[in-house]
Structure 1
Amino acid sequence: MAQLTKKQKKTAELDSEKLYSVDEALATLREHKAGFDETVEVAMNLGVDPRHADQMVRGMVSLPSGTGKEIKVAVFARGDKADEAREAGADKVGAEDLMEEMQNGDLDYDRVIASPDMMGVVGRLGKVLGPKGLMPNPKLGTVTPNVAQAVKDAKGGQVEFRVEKMGIIHSGIGKLSFADEDIKANFKALTDAVVKAKPSGAKGKFVKKVSLTSTMGPGLKVDLAEVEGA
């Protein structure tokens, strides 16, 4: 049997049933940090079955401390709207030309935004953008006449959350190099937004478990007292 590394031994010694405050969880993750700037991630187990439309949990939230990640944004717009998107910092702006590029596999974007008049073009990309969660959606603010603000929001730390089929939401909330207070502010913003997005079809306990982890770190259960409304 292969011997465990020092880091693996430290992880194995952790109490898997312990409930951590966010401060304690961050301190523990820092003790187990790797040799690069890891992403801090939240996992929320929710009491929903997303196969039912009235139990889907999805939304956008602006993380006050940003994500620490460079976000690539593509915008479907023409004329003045296209100019506004470029000035706001969009990485790619186009119309039919951008549609063709995406159909040919150029999908290296974190967010796709469209002005309402472009949905006839964007609609042809449903089978391409849909599976990647990139399809512009007016409910999420990614179909909007104010494309410049949407680009600024995306670049400034706005993230999308969406429950997966097992009833879990995963989201990065910053880097391990962030100050504790910055990560905690992002944690609160995300968890508050998820709680507020509780769907009408959710019955019983909504937030069942919350965990904090880092890219290479252990998963640590967070005391639900740290989550408002849980």
Structure 2
Amino acid sequence: MIMSLNLDAITKAVTEAKSKAKKRRFKQSYELIVKFRDFDVKNQANRFNMTITLPHALQGKEPKICVIATGAMVLAAREAKADAILTREDIEKLSGNKKEVRRLANSYDYFIATPDLMVLIGRVMGQILGPRNKIPEAIQPNADIKTVIDRLKRSVRIRVKDQPQIMCKVGTEDMDPKQVAENIAAVLSEILNKVRPEQLRAVVIKLTMSSPVSVNPFISR
């Protein structure tokens, strides 16, 4: 039996979740919750974490990107409107200053760095960035930094750690339900590269302050 994602069913669940949500003074987010069965989280192979690029950018608060670079990449990152840019000298000054490294780790969602700085970053910031799953993505000095930043700004991170489930933001209430559904489908597709369809015990969609809506996201053929 071949299983494929049912975009219509997912869109219907997104619409239902919105109908169940009371109007609030803030913009609510759509959250996707996927629970697994027969899934041993003590097995390191199952403790996956991934950064997934969504087809539609999340409206409202965008992920913040910090670029750590030298030379021409510094100027390119500035032109690409990176949220923060750190140089080799900036990282060296952070040595031993765990409070400031922790502040940076909490202030930015993604870090990007040129390969020549990765060892230094690991030594100065690794103990704090690592547990937060924020070790920088290495990019070559001639890479198109704007493309990388744009990709990360429409990305979400999913992670399985202590519980057999993942939770992530997939949209906001002012987005078209079909766009939210397509974001959900993108996340589910990546998850299905790691687990079998029958290991998905539940797929739930909800707005921040709405009741959860369960959905069977598959079509059987």
Q: Does 1:30 align with 2:25?
A: no
- The RMSD of aligned alpha carbons is 2.5
Q: CA deviation at 1:51?
A: 2.5
Identity across aligned pairs (percent)? 24
Q: How many residues align?
A: 199
Contact kept? 2:14, 2:181, Cα under 8 Å: no
Contact kept? 1:49, 1:165, Cα under 8 Å: no
**Equivalent residue, structure 2, for 1:65:** 56
**Equivalent residue, structure 1, for 2:203:** 210
RCO higher in structure (CA 8 A, sep ≥6): 2
**Equivalent residue, structure 1, for 2:190:** 193
Q: CA deviation at 1:98?
A: 4.5
**Equivalent residue, structure 1, for 2:31:** 41
- Of 170, 174, 187 in structure 1, the residue corresponding to residue 171 of structure 2 is 174
Q: CA deviation at 1:104?
A: 6.1
**CA distance in structure 1 between the aligned counterparts of 2:80 and 2:187, rounded to whole angstroms:** 25
Structure 2: 5+ residue stretches without partners: 1-7
Q: Does 1:103 align with 2:91?
A: no
Q: If each structure's strand is expressed as a fraction of its own residues, which one has the higher value?
A: 2
Q: Amino acid of the residue matched to residue 144 of structure 1?
A: I
Q: Does 1:55 align with 2:35?
A: no
Q: CA deviation at 1:29?
A: 2.1
Q: Amino acid of the residue matched to residue 223 of structure 1?
A: N
Contact kept? 2:41, 2:161, Cα under 8 Å: yes
- Of 85, 94, 101 in structure 2, the residue corresponding to residue 93 of structure 1 is 85
**Equivalent residue, structure 2, for 1:143:** 138
**Equivalent residue, structure 2, for 1:13:** none
**Equivalent residue, structure 1, for 2:72:** 80
**Equivalent residue, structure 1, for 2:5:** none
**CA distance in structure 1 between the aligned counterparts of 2:144 and 2:120, rounded to whole angstroms:** 16
Structure 2 CA distance for partners of 1:103 and 1:166, relative to 1, 3 Å: same
**CA distance in structure 1 between the aligned counterparts of 2:48 and 2:119, rounded to whole angstroms:** 27
Q: Amino acid of the residue matched to residue 173 of structure 2?
A: L
**Equivalent residue, structure 1, for 2:181:** 184
Superposition TM-score, scaled by structure 2 size = 0.80
